[in-house]
Chain A
Amino acid sequence: MAKSGYQNRIELVQGTLDMLVLKTLQWGEQHGYGISQAICASSNEVLQVETGSLYPALHRLERAGWVSGEWKKSDANQRAKFYRITALGKKQLANDYERWGRMVATIEAIMSAKESAR
């Protein structure tokens, strides 16, 4: 991948990784590499998920019961651990998304108010 690509990327906002992972898994089960690729692709390569955050997050979500992991053969006939979102995870995703929406709206309100005051 070209070096310049890095400059276009932005850091993930704290606490949003779980939501993004869960959202990605809503489209179907996926392995860790696939998840990072999917997030990267669906953000037009703006968001880069660090493996040092992704794997701890996956294992934490698995322990919380929001995703479940299973070893399977991938399309390329590789053995990989596939994660699948659980019912509990879907509820959590809705929750996270709703909170995220409120946060964005709140921050937006603050930011736009400042602008008008100037």
Chain B
Amino acid sequence: MSLFDGRKKDLKDEIESHLRMAAADRVAAGATPEDARRDAMREFGNVPLVADVTRERWGWGWLESLLQDVRFALRQLWKTPGFTVTAILTLALGIGANSAIFTLVNVVLLKNLPVVDPEALVRVGDWADCCQNSGPNTWHDGDYSMFSTDTYEQVKKNTPEFEELAAMQAGFENRPVIVRRDGGKEAAKPRMGEFVSGNYFRMFGLHPATGRLLADTDDVAVAPVVAVMSYATWKDAYNGDNSVVGSTFWMNTKPVTVVGVAPEGFYGDRMSRTPPDFYLPIATMPDEAGGKSFRDPTQNWLDIIGRVKPGTAMGPLQEKLSAQLKRVHATDPAFSAADIAKTHLVLTPGGAGTQSMQKDYASNLKLLMWISGLVLLIACANIANLLLARGMGRKAELSVRAALGAMRGRIVRQLLTESLLLAGIGGAAALAVSYGGARMLLTLAFPGEQHVPISASPSAEVLGFALVVSMLTGVLFGVAPALMESKAPPADALRSGARTTAGGASLLQRGLVVLQAALSVVLLVAAGLFAQSLGKLEHTDMKLESKNRYIVYFSAQTASYKDVEMPALYRTLEERFHAIPGVVKVGISTYTPMEGGDDGYDIQLVGQPNVYRDATNIIVNPEYFDSVGTRVLLGRGITAQDTATSPHVAVVNEDFVRALFKPGENPIGHRFIAGGHLATPYEIVGVVEGTTYTDVRRNGTHPMYFGPLTQPSEEGDADATVVKTSRPMSDMESLARRTLMGINPNLAVQRFETFEAQIAGQFTHERMLATLMTLFGGLALLLATVGLYGVTSYTVARRTSEIGIRMALGAERSGVVAMVMRSALTQTLLGLAVGVPVAFYGVRLVKSQLYEMTTVSPSALAVAVGTLVVAACLAGLIPARRAASVDPARALRAE
């Protein structure tokens, strides 16, 4: 039972030996053994007291009494399991939800890259551009963040302020490389390959896990092609096999030697859902993978991050780099004098790399932090209420203990121990909730991704945060009421404990319940709005048909197809897929609806030189429109008769017509020029529905034109095959794989998706928000209900004798129920009166994250209010029924 059992026995033995020796001396002097013993005892004095005082000299008394306190506190908590479980769950959920969100905020928004001295890193550019572009940047007003290979080389040469300046491919995530290990039996697989400058790893100050990292000598066109593998890939895909280093891998059909493995934990130069598996030198980028265009001095495709020398001033450096960029643009005929005047760049801290993901998630995470903060507030109110009620309920107990002579300090210390113990257990449970919660958030945010470099384990900051919050809650609300109560003279408390009529819950307690109700109605309204927003998004008419359609993404470039071979490949694809039983239509295109990307070009109607519009170009085969379910409204679609030698034609969508033609004007037969290609104007031969391609928010305002695969266009090669089948085919993926392999062993399936899954994937963000809002709303409701229940049942318990008297005097049971319910509902209604206006105000702050909703919808409000009222009724009804079942005689006899 105690730390000191051994020593205590020792002391007992020591005293016993003293007594025996004293008695023996007395016997020797002639006393009878009984008298001798009694006399020795009398002389010795109070044995337990002497032992106690002696024990205090050991210096461990405080620990001993702490253990006593802890044991006592555990017993007290064990005796009231309802209270204990509620308090711990409340703390766990409130703090856990916060820690989970904070874990992600910490990692996604605040953390630096795991590299040497990240503070010294500077990124050239201040926004995340992707993936390749050229010409004047009009959409960011001349602010450039992505650069050409040529610009990088010049800046590197002319800026000694940088100790090291490295460049990296901005859009590697969209250009997987097809990788197969030489000699192995494994099939070619799409993997992430990022092209980086030779000094990339040196700039970050990294050392290899094994082998070596890239060097400047690797980054020259004539060098043998080498690559560095990421640590995660090395461990996961190759089991940390040391023979990987030095072995040959076939990447996009070219042999590449892996020379080393990047250090553990390094996930590249940006937070990405798909971090690089391989790092390759820029200069050895094959033409087919984009190398040709990337060597074009006008094509921007690189992010630049450098390590500055200590003491470099950012302002002058930024001016200098902007001036250099102006000089580069001055040599490009695409730039007018006005474009060059606007040309500039902004330096930003580069410790976190290129923050493309941060941009996507910042607003969501901030919103979630607010929401979870509100939940924490509700949880704290709940704990406060529970502990207040408990503290006041123990008034009599404390008075008795004080009356029996317990020191006040000791009583307070004991209460403190109990509160801290509760908070500690709650905090520990919160960490478990936090870990689970962060895991859940990651799965919601990045469904199906395994290599996201975000760990769900709480960091030291998060641990500290949870600990401090829980301890504060415990001390503040556990000890304060107890302390106040213990100040009262014991006799007062003992006298007044017997009969109370007005002694219900205090104003503070009722106020806390009102606050909880108000906050939870706000969160419930928010949950309703986000769910409705998601529903609206998902049920928007996207003007397509997704049932029984499968999309197979392939990359002809990575299988080394030449441009002249492409028409034959398309024909083969059509034939081979049609040969599969059950396949009805085979569409081939550069982009598919809801894939998430598009390429826009300037459009000019022939004969109307002053009308410019930006429109998306997609090139398609004849069966494409049928395969995705886009209907032809006017004229015709693309047909097999549109060949390389027939007239240059385009089918446009209804948004295109709306944007470039007057209402009622027939667009058929009109001609337009795209991307400044004056020699090849398009003739409009048909109009199709405005199928959604990137975002339902662009419905009706997204002009598009579709050309035949066989004719010249602004687009590159098609990479998507849409297969429409007559029935659901679960084995479509393996059939597709086999079909491509049958055409060419290097032609791998880069990605396979059902059309439905691709569409759902575009709503991941919204779905995550809606799910979390619903979770938090439910949590808030649960906590508020528990709080109301706690206060109501506390009141009922305190008023038991009063209720007994009322009933003895003839009060009806229904009257008692009504009395209790009235007080519970009053608090809820007060909460609504506060919460509803707050909800109306709050929705204005989150409007930008909602789709087609600008204010609180009546249905969301009704559901929120209804849910809260029902919950309040339930929370009130249980104690009310208990009050009504009070036996008057017993209530009067009690106390």
Interface residues of A (CB under 8 A from B): 1, 31-34, 37, 50-52, 55-56, 58-60, 63, 74, 76, 78-81
**How many angstroms between the C-alpha atoms of A1 and B35 in the bound complex?**
12
Is B889 part of the contact surface with A, judged by Cβ < 8 Å?
no
Contact A50 B58 (CB under 8 A): no
Per the bound structure, the CA–CA distance linking A81 and B7 in Å amounts to 12
Question: A32 contacts B14, CB within 8 Å?
Answer: yes
B68: Cβ under 8 A from any A Cβ: no
Given contacts A55-B54, A60-B57, contact A31 B46 (CB under 8 A): no
Q: What sequence of 0s and 1s flags, for each residue 7-46 of chain B, a beta carbon within 8 Å of any chain A beta carbon?
A: 0001101110110111011000000000000010001111
A21, chain B: closest CB distance, angstroms: 13
A76, B24: Cβ atoms closer than 8 Å:
yes
Which of A34, A56, A58 sits near B56, CB closer than 8 Å?
Answer: A56
Does any Cβ of A come within 8 Å of B640's Cβ?
Answer: no
B59 CB within 8 Å of chain A: yes
- Could you pull out 19 A-B pairs where Cβ atoms are within 8 angstroms? A31-B18, A31-B21, A32-B14, A51-B15, A51-B45, A52-B46, A52-B49, A52-B50, A55-B11, A55-B51, A55-B53, A59-B11, A59-B54, A59-B58, A74-B21, A78-B17, A78-B24, A80-B21, A81-B13
Interface size on B, residues (CB 8 A): 27
> Are B17 and A63 in touch, CB under 8 angstroms?
no
Which of A56, A79, A80 meets B57, CB within 8 Å?
A56
Residues of B at under 8 Å CB distance from A? 10-11, 13-15, 17-18, 20-22, 24-25, 39, 43-46, 49-51, 53-59
- Give the CA-CA distance A58 to B21 in the complex, in Å: 18
Q: Which residues of B contact A59 (CB under 8 A)?
A: 11, 54-55, 57-58
Known: A51-B15, A78-B21. 16 other contacts (CB 8 A): A31-B14, A32-B14, A33-B17, A33-B22, A37-B25, A50-B45, A51-B43, A52-B49, A55-B51, A56-B53, A56-B54, A56-B57, A63-B58, A74-B21, A78-B24, A81-B10
Q: Helix, strand, loop or mixed for chain B's interface?
A: helix
A residues within 8 A CB of B20? 78
Rounded to whole angstroms, the CA-CA distance of A1 and B25 in the bound complex is 11
Complex CA gap A68/B39 in Å reads 30
Q: How far is the CA of A29 from the CA of B718 in the complex (A)?
A: 100
- Which 5 residue pairs across A and B have the least CB separation, nearest first? A80-B17, A59-B57, A60-B57, A33-B18, A55-B54
* Closest chain B residue, CB of each to CB of A76: B24
Q: Given contacts A56-B53, A76-B24, A81-B10, is CB(A51)–CB(B18) below 8 Å?
A: yes
Which residues does chain B contribute within 8 Å of A1, judged by CB atoms? 39, 43
Look across to chain A and name the residue whose beta carbon is closest to the beta carbon of B18: A33
Residues in chain B near residue A78, CB distance under 8 A: 17, 20-21, 24
Closest to B53 in A: A56
* Distance between Cα atoms of A105 and B55 in the complex (Å): 36
Most chain A CB neighbours (cut-off 10 Å) among B18, B22, B45: B18
Chain B residues whose C-beta falls within 8 Å of the C-beta of A34 in the assembled complex: 21
B817 CB to nearest chain A CB (Å): 63
In the assembled complex, which residues on chain B have CB atoms less than 8 Å from the CB atom of A33? 17-18, 21-22
| Contact present for A55 and B58 (CB under 8 Å) | no
Bound-state Cα–Cα, A33 to B43, Å = 12
Q: Which residues of B contact A79 (CB under 8 A)?
A: 13, 17
**B56 and chain A: residue at smallest CB distance:** A56
Residues of chain B contacted by A50 (CB below 8 angstroms):
45
Cα distance A37–B21 when bound, in Å?
A: 11
Residues of A within 8 Å of B45, CB to CB, are 50-52
Q: Which residue in chain B gives the minimum CB-CB distance to A31?
A: B17
Closest chain-A Cβ to B157's Cβ sits at a distance in Å of: 73
A50, B43: Cα distance in complex, Å: 9
**Closest residue of A by beta carbon distance from B21:** A33
The distance in angstroms between the C-alpha atoms of A1 and B22, with both chains bound, is 12
